[in-house]
Structure 1
Amino acid sequence: MQPLPLKLAPGSDLRLSLEELAQRGGISGFVLGVVGNLTKASFQCPGQAEPTVLEGDLEVITLNGTFSPEGVHLHLSLSDGACQVWGGHLEPGTIVQKGVDLLIGVLEQREGRPARQTAAAAPRIEIAVLPGCPWCSRALRILRTLDLPHTVTTVNDDAAFHAVQQRSGMTTFPQVFLDGSAIGGYDNLAAMQAAGELDALR
């Protein structure tokens, strides 16, 4: 196990940043420690149909769980301005305020694993999202619920926005790609789910 410090800048999405790190680096591991604050937190409480969303000056208390190129499973606890503690399953839309410092433990890659194996197993679905976008969160929830492998690109600046726009010809988010071609946004993904067309992508 190799410890790796990670600093997230203001405006970063806590969950999507870890997903992107795991996918781009092809790494797996778990969260060892965290300190920082948030302007917005989105987390799923047991038995609730939709995530709970809090906004304000929020202090991170704990973040526990695992990450890999296939996805993340993270539990967040935090304190609001009244020192009331909240917590649940970390969802997209959890936005860093001044900064979040993480220490993650990266598991060593298995010996003898061919380097090209990761590329060959690259997910067919790609999704570009904006931090704090509710439609992006819903699209990601569809993919996670169906356990569909996918890569996530978080658009944090103008350069990333223009790069994705040139690929898709779209200006709205999320933007979903299948085998490298744009298939639309949340409505298109939801329609494919309703028609059962996503099941074949598992």
Structure 2
Amino acid sequence: MRPLPLKLTPGSDLRLSLEELARAQQLNGFVLGVVGNLSRAAFQCPGQAQPTVLEGDLEVITLNGTLSPEGVHLHLSLSDGACQVWGGHLEPGTLVQKGVDLLVGVLEQSQPAVDGNTATPTAQPPRIEIAVLPGCPWCARALRLLRTLDLPHTVDTINDDAAFSRWQSRSGMRTFPQVFIDGALLGGYDDLASLHGSGKLEQLR
């Protein structure tokens, strides 16, 4: 394991920044420590249909969980101005106020031993691709469903017009999320939920 210090600037999305880091650098690891504050926090409380959203001067207490190129699984706890503690599953839309310093433990990739007659195995990419918009509740539901089922998937967060146009050209859709399976368009959240209801989504491992 090697330590990787990170500093997130004001306005950064805490979750999406870590997702992008893990995807861009193909990192597997976990959060070792965190200190900083937030102007907005979005987190999923147990048993609630929608994420809880807080705004104001919010102090980060803990951030625990794992990172991988397929996504992140993180739990956040924080304190508000009245020193009341909140916490839950970290969701997109959690924004850095003045700054957040993180220490990530990166797991070194082990290389399988090979001989002259054995080819090096090639990792297969996830069968599921999903494009999401920051702050989109249907996108958050789709990601939560995939994480709950522990299904490998790649996530592309749409942060500019060029990315929006690229996905629109590929899918013919203007709404998000956009879900592809084995390179073919499935549709949006309703289509993903319908596939889950049929029992076929769980087969995409």
TM > 0.5: yes
Residue 158 in structure 1 maps to residue 151 in structure 2: no
CA–CA distance in 2 between the matches of 1:75 and 1:167? Answer: 34
Structure 2: state its 5+ residue gaps.
Answer: 115-119
Runs (4+) of structure 1 moved beyond 6 Å? none
Partner letter of residue 85 of structure 2? V
Q: Equivalences for 1:93-172 in 2 at 5 Å? A: 93-112=93-112, 117=121, 120-172=123-175
TM-score relative to the length of structure 1: 0.84
Whole-Å Cα distance in 1 between the matches of residues 128 and 11 of structure 2?
A: 25
RMSD: 2.5
Secondary structure of 2:203's aligned partner: helix
Q: CA deviation at 1:143?
A: 0.9
> Quick check: 1:8–1:96 contact (8 Å CA) kept in 2?
yes
Is the radius of gyration larger for structure 1 or structure 2?
2
Q: Establish whether residue 20 from structure 1 lines up as the match of residue 20 from structure 2.
A: yes
Q: Secondary structure at the match of 1:136?
A: helix
Residues 49, 172 of structure 1: alpha-carbon distance in 2 compared, 3 angstrom cutoff:
closer
1:55 aligns with 2:55: yes
Partners of 1:180 and 1:15 in 2: how far apart?
26
User: Quick one: distance in 1 between partners of 2:162 and 2:100?
Assistant: 23
Q: CA contact under 8 A between 1:127 and 1:152: conserved in structure 2?
A: yes
Q: Where does structure 1 lack aligned partners over 5 or more consecutive residues?
A: none
Say whether 1:181 aligns with 2:172. Answer: no
Equivalent pairs: percent with the same residue?
77
| SS of equivalent residue, structure 1 residue 81 | coil
Moved more, 150-159 or 60-69: 60-69
Counterparts of 2:97 and 2:113 in 1: how far apart (Å)?
Answer: 39
Which residue of 2 is the match for residue 194 of structure 1? 197
